[in-house]
């Protein structure tokens, strides 16, 4: 090329541009699917079973990474597959794990695990009562299962109703209320 000639750069063709756009869109969809499947999931809370900790209508992120390395522990807020309605996910607090014994004293409204009353500031003073169901107390949680209860004990169908749930049905750990902004907080 002599000094008087200039190289002309051609613009990519429309087909090449569309192909690049399709690849980028596919990448975004695959990445979002991977994040949703293996890292976190967003949920809208449909009921008051976890009030005052999580309010009806709050949007919550549940993270899935923790339970790749450990099982749920008492105090964790967990999401899990509803044992009664296929495809529905519930959110409750893990109260006891496999091998622990749960009892509920209807007289004092307290939950006992292994004979000790739980300190549960998150129930906001609401009593816990036994619910009509197939659960006989004291109840020993089977290995590989967790006992879950809503923080709003007077308005929650939980393990008192359907028994312990398998750890294999736990889908994540409630980590963050992100909407509405005035309810924004980390969950403990």
Instruction: State CA 34 to chain mean position distance.
Output: 17
- Residue 92 designated active-site: yes
- Residue 49 designated active-site: yes
All residues at 6 or more sequence positions from 146 whose CB lies less than 8 Å from its CB, including other chains: 71, 72, 78, 94, 95, 96, 97, 98, 164, 165, 167, 170
Question: Catalytic pick from 47, 66, 92, 168?
Answer: 92
Question: Catalytic pick from 3, 32, 49, 126?
Answer: 49
Q: Which residues are catalytic?
A: 49, 92
């Amino acid at each position: 090329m002599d000094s008087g000639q200039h190289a002309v750069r051609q613009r990519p063709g429309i087909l090449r541009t569309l192909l690049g756009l399709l690849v980028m869109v596919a990448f975004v969809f695959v990445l979002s699917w991977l994040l949703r499947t293996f890292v976190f999931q967003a949920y809208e809370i449909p009921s008051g079973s976890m009030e005052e900790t999580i309010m009806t209508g709050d949007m919550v992120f549940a993270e899935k990474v923790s339970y790749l390395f450990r099982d749920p522990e008492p105090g964790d807020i967990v999401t899990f597959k509803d044992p009664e309605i296929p495809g529905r996910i519930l959110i409750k607090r893990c109260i006891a794990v496999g091998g622990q014994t749960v009892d509920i004293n209807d007289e004092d409204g307290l939950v006992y695990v292994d004979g000790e009353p739980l300190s549960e500031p998150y129930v906001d003073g609401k009593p816990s009562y036994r619910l009509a169901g197939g659960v006989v107390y004291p109840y020993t949680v089977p290995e590989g299962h967790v006992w879950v209860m809503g923080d709003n004990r007077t308005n929650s169908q939980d393990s008192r109703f359907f028994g312990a749930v398998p750890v294999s049905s736990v889908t994540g750990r409630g980590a963050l209320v992100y909407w509405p902004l005035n309810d924004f907080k980390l969950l403990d």
